Every structure is written in C-alpha cells, then in structure tokens.
Chain A
Amino acid sequence: MKILVPVKRVLDYNVKPRVKSDGTGVDLANVKMSMNPFDEIGVEEAIRLKEKGVATEIVAISVGPAKAQETLRTALAMGADRAILVQTDDDVEPLALAKIFKAIADTEAPGLVILGKQAIDGDNNQTGQMLAALTGWAQGTFASAVNVEGDHVAVTREVDGGLETVKLKLPAIVTTDLRLNEPRYASLPNIMKAKSKPLDTKTPADYGVDTTPRVKTVKVSEPPVRSAGVKVADVDELVAKLKAMGVHS
C-alpha cells in the first residue's frame, strides 16, 4: 500500500507571529520556517505503517514556493521514499489544495492519505475533509490511533467528549491530532541520504487546478490585547475578590 503525506512549510511554531504594520498579513520575511507540526505527525505515522509492513511506499507532497523543497527534504530524511513539489508562489487555499491532491491521488492510487488536521498558519482545518469529499473516500479526522486491518482502517478520533472510533473502507483519508505519535528526528546519515531521493517538480497547472483565491483577505490585525490585572497578596484577598464578584460555593 502506498501512502501520500502532504506537508506544508509554515512559520516555525516557536516563533511569535508579528502582524505587518500595513495590515496585509503576518510578517514572514527572515523568520524561521518549518514543517507544519501536524504534518510531521502524519509523516511519522506513515513511516510507522511502513515499518509494520503495512505500507510499501511513502510519497511526500508539498504545494508551495521553491523553498518548500526543504520541507520535502525533511520528510525524506525522516523516511519518506520520494517527493513531489507542486511549485507556486501563490497562497493556495484548502479547496485548491484538495483538488491538487485529488489529481495526484488519481495517478498514484494510494491506500491512505495522511494529512495534518490543520496548518498552524491559516488554522483552516479543511484540506483533508475536502480531499475526502472530492475522492469520495471515507475520512478519519483528528486521529489519535490508526490501525489498518485488511481492507479497512480503524481510526480513533479525538472528539469533544473524549474518543470515538470509526471503521473506514480503504482507500481513506486520515488527519492527525497531536497525540497520534511523537515524530522522530532525522539522523545525520538520513539527512545526507535524503538529498539523493527523487523529488519531482510540478505546477498546479500540470494538474489542471486553478488556484485563484475564492476568499479575499481584506485585512489582518492584532487581536485585542488583554491587560494584566492585579496581584493579590494571599488567599484571603483572593477569596474576598471572588466573593465580591459573587463567586463562592
């Protein structure tokens, strides 16, 4: 079984985003960029399925600028077998991304596509579900466990009240949640080896996908700031403050 793992190059999760003063977006000039953490979990899960003998080949895909090659090399260094860069400088929306991944799935015929549940820049949480709609495949979103059993996959999902398990016919779409696994670090020899793994470069047009945005960003602004209140000296003072607000047993 082949597994596709889409990965996105995003602002590193340790970097505090700064809104540009002209209100057009978040400043991405000269800041550290990394693989979206949820996608990293997706790559790791694919590698584990390969190590278990369930998967035979892992194809990493990224839609983004030339520099997204670095993100793909990271996936290859972790253990993906080959990569496809769909190169564009446009900011591609989830719907267009899903269309590109659908076109790739049509030719690659994977058993699973494992995506991060959301990218930590746009926080859309859409692409996996949209890909499932376009392919007509079943979806297991926000996964905390993935078990392939014959021609089905059991996906345990993190839902609001706790956990829920669904059984999906393969091929299927899985999106990862935080507790699915802890991604490995690529070793130095594997980073070196990744440099010679195959990486194809394509464009959205190669897949017949129009990436013109459907949603226009009018402006991007700072969130309202919450100011610090007071420090209380001890528990008695805190109790008095709370009681004054009507908070008591």
Chain B
Amino acid sequence: MKTLVWVEHDGKAVKDATLAVVTAAAKLGEVHLLVAGSGVDAVAKEAAQIAGVGKVHVADNAAFDHNLPENVAPLVAELMGHHDAFLAPATTTGKNIAPRVAALLDVMQISEILSVEGPKTFTRPIYAGNAIATVESSDAKLVLTVRGTAFDKAAMTGGSGTVETVGAGSDAGISSFVGAEIAKSERPELTSAKIIVSGGRALGSSEKYQEVIVPLADKLNAALGASRAAVDAGYVPNDYQVGQTGKIVAPQVYFAIGISGAIQHLAGMKDSKTIVAINKDEDAPIFQVADFGLVADLFNAVPELTGKI
C-alpha cells in the first residue's frame, strides 16, 4: 500500500505532530510525504530525513500557505490518484483538511485512529473516549486522521527520502487568510511537552493562575495547560485547553491542579504516564486516575512544591 502523509509545518520546520503519523502510515505500507506551501525547500529536506520515508512530494505555491483547505484539498485529492491512503495528524489543521479530501474522493474518513489493526481496520475513540470502536473501511482508498499520542514518534533522522516537485496547484479564490493570534512562547508545545502543569477553575482568577501555576511550570520547564472550566472563565486563552474538545496530551508527568476531573478533561489527559493531582476535595474524580494525589489547598501546596522541587 502507498500512503501519503500530510506534513504539518510552520514554513521553516516539520512539526512534531507529523512524526506519529509517519509511524501509523508505516504500519500500512510505503510512506510518502506531502509538503505544501511557498518556499518550503528547507521543510522538504528536513522531512526527507525522517526515518522510513520514501518520497517527499513538494507543492510550492503561495496558495497553500496557511493550509487553506479550499486550495489544499484538491491538490491532495489529485495526488491520491496514485496513493492508497491519506493520513493527517488529528490537529486542527488535519481535521480541517482531511474530511474535505475524503469527500472529494467519495470516501468515508476514519477519524483519530488509535491503532492499526489490519490493512483496513482501526480503533478509534467515540463518546469522548468513553468507548473504543474497532472499525473496518470498505472504501477503495483510505483517509485517516491520527491521534498523535497513540503512536510513537518516528525519528527525525535516518531517512533518505527523495524530494520530488508536484503540480503547481491553484488558488480556488473563495477563501483567504486574514491573520492569526498565535501565542509565542519559549515553553515546550502542549502536545509534545514531557511535563504539563494544568490549572482548573479552583484557581479563581487569571492572576492566581499566573501566580500559582506558572512558577511551577517555569521551574520544571513544563508546558501550561488548563481545564475547559478555566478557559471558559477566561483565566487563560483557548489554546491551553486540555480535554476532548481541546488538546489530547500524554506527557511523562501531568499535574492537574485545582481540576476536579470532568469526563471531558480526563479524555484529554488520561494517557499521561504519571498523573499528579492536587485538589482540596478528596472526592474529586481526578483522584481516581491520579498516580499521586495530594488532598490540600492548592494555594499553599503548589508554592511549597515549587519551592522544594
């Protein structure tokens, strides 16, 4: 089987999210990559080094910048003429593009696969991860999005893919990129961080989040996260949200501070290697999944922890 993997990048470098998709694709067959955007030579060269990669298709066109699906999906659909499966990370970019590709190919997409069970059989979460479905596609071609935390990351080195330029593509002329408010930060990215410190509604305010959560994260070089309740209350921006409708994370250590542990939050972090919960309510559901639970007032316990760790 020949697979085509969507390379997520920022114009300069391959994003981490791509690597787990390469691992999933390698379970199906030969791995080809697609790098789309203008001036993406450096990205393509880097992508060719990823372990196990055969060919890197490069579509160099400004119409593909910002991943506008109206322009990108027809390009992918065309390349699928000689590939059997299209795989994209289950990021906001992958989720935006892949179903548009699937419909152009008249194929049902299989979303957020957790494992490859056979050439057309996969597992995926349904009902916010409260159930796992094993599903089998009957379509001639596959379109899949891949949950990054469910597959190991392919190595960034060791590959020797060949870079090949593909058709110019065009601007469909129905959409344009206006602007973005992307938080710039020295911290590790939430979805690839080894340690995450997350705060919940118990913090009570944006100031307290800054005062209590941030210093611990600084000390551990951790990424910052939050529950939906904390995001909805405006303590932190939306891109901090961990949960079924936010980001799915699986770090080595996840600190849940002042987070009660609603199903929707647990769905986003329960695959973390070690979960540490600090909450003053000893009956909070978070303690049912925590490896280390501390029943304490977070406003005392967290600064003390930050001081002693």
| B206 within 8 Å of A (CB atoms) | no
Contact B138–A235 (Cβ < 8 Å): no
Report the Cα distance A17→B107, complex, angstroms.
Answer: 28
Given A214-B139, A223-B125, does the pair A133, B99 have CB atoms closer than 8 Å? yes
Question: Across the interface, which residues of A come within 8 angstroms of B232, CB to CB?
Answer: 178-179
| A87 within 8 Å of B (CB atoms) | no
The closest CB in chain A to the CB of B244 belongs to A123
Contact A222–B174 (Cβ < 8 Å): no
Contact A217–B135 (Cβ < 8 Å): yes
What mask results when residues 51 to 79 of chain B are scored 1 for a CB within 8 Å of chain A, else 0? 00000000000000010111001000000
Interface size, A (range): 35 or more
Question: Across the interface, which residues of A come within 8 angstroms of B287, CB to CB?
Answer: 228, 231
Interface centre among B98, B112, B173, B182 (most CB of A within 10 A): B182
- Contacting A235 at CB < 8 Å: which of B70, B291, B294? B294
Given A216-B135, A220-B132, A230-B291, does the pair A160, B93 have CB atoms closer than 8 Å? yes
What mask results when residues 89 to 107 of chain B are scored 1 for a CB within 8 Å of chain A, else 0? 0011101111111111011
Chain A binder among B20-28, B41-49, B156-164, B301-309: B301-309
Chain A: minimal CB distance from B57 (Å)? 21
Report the Cα distance A215→B129, complex, angstroms.
Answer: 19
Report the Cα distance A219→B127, complex, angstroms.
Answer: 14
| A239 within 8 Å of B (CB atoms) | yes
Report the Cα distance A154→B263, complex, angstroms.
Answer: 33
Contact A158–B92 (Cβ < 8 Å): yes
**Chain A 14-34 interface residues, beta-carbon cutoff 8 Å to B:** 16-17, 19, 26
What mask results when residues 216 to 246 of chain A are scored 1 for a CB within 8 Å of chain B, else 0? 1111111100101111101110110111010
Contact B290–A129 (Cβ < 8 Å): no
Contact A179–B127 (Cβ < 8 Å): no
Chain A: minimal CB distance from B251 (Å)? 11
A interface residues with partner B (beta carbon < 8 Å): 11, 16-17, 19, 26, 93-95, 98, 120-134, 136-139, 141-142, 144, 154, 157-169, 172, 177-179, 213-223, 226, 228-232, 234-236, 238-239, 241-243, 245, 247-249
Question: Across the interface, which residues of B come within 8 angstroms of A221, CB to CB?
Answer: 131-132, 134
Contact B137–A215 (Cβ < 8 Å): yes
| B195 within 8 Å of A (CB atoms) | yes
The closest CB in chain B to the CB of A170 belongs to B174
Report the Cα distance A138→B68, complex, angstroms.
Answer: 9
Question: Across the interface, which residues of A come within 8 angstroms of B289, CB to CB?
Answer: 226, 228
The closest CB in chain A to the CB of B110 belongs to A215
Contact B305–A239 (Cβ < 8 Å): yes
- Contacting B91 at CB < 8 Å: which of A95, A160, A218, A228? A160
Question: Across the interface, which residues of A come within 8 angstroms of B172, CB to CB?
Answer: 138
Which 4 pairs show the lowest CB-CB distances between chains A and B? A229-B291, A133-B103, A129-B99, A130-B103
Report the Cα distance A154→B294, complex, angstroms.
Answer: 46
The closest CB in chain A to the CB of B290 belongs to A229
The closest CB in chain A to the CB of B295 belongs to A231
Chain B: minimal CB distance from A156 (Å)? 9
- Contacting A94 at CB < 8 Å: which of B108, B132, B244, B296? B108
Report the Cα distance A48→B176, complex, angstroms.
Answer: 25
7 pairs from A and B in contact (CB 8 Å cutoff): A123-B125, A132-B100, A133-B102, A136-B174, A167-B175, A214-B108, A229-B291
Contact B183–A161 (Cβ < 8 Å): yes
Given A133-B100, A214-B139, A215-B135, does the pair A228, B288 have CB atoms closer than 8 Å? yes
Contact A120–B291 (Cβ < 8 Å): no
**Chain B 132-151 interface residues, beta-carbon cutoff 8 Å to A:** 132-139
Chain A: minimal CB distance from B255 (Å)? 10
Report the Cα distance A178→B264, complex, angstroms.
Answer: 13
Chain A: minimal CB distance from B211 (Å)? 17
| B205 within 8 Å of A (CB atoms) | no
Contact A216–B138 (Cβ < 8 Å): yes
Contact B238–A249 (Cβ < 8 Å): no
Report the Cα distance A93→B137, complex, angstroms.
Answer: 12
Q: What 6 new A-B contacts, CB under 8 Å, besides A217-B134, A228-B289? A: A120-B128, A129-B103, A159-B239, A160-B93, A214-B138, A238-B294
| B111 within 8 Å of A (CB atoms) | yes
Contact B178–A161 (Cβ < 8 Å): no
Question: Across the interface, which residues of A come within 8 angstroms of B244, CB to CB?
Answer: 123
The closest CB in chain A to the CB of B125 belongs to A123
Given A122-B126, A124-B109, does the pair A179, B104 have CB atoms closer than 8 Å? no
Report the Cα distance A218→B230, complex, angstroms.
Answer: 38
**Chain B 171-195 interface residues, beta-carbon cutoff 8 Å to A:** 172-183, 191, 195
Chain B: minimal CB distance from A135 (Å)? 10
- Contacting A166 at CB < 8 Å: which of B135, B178, B282, B290? B178
Contact A139–B69 (Cβ < 8 Å): yes
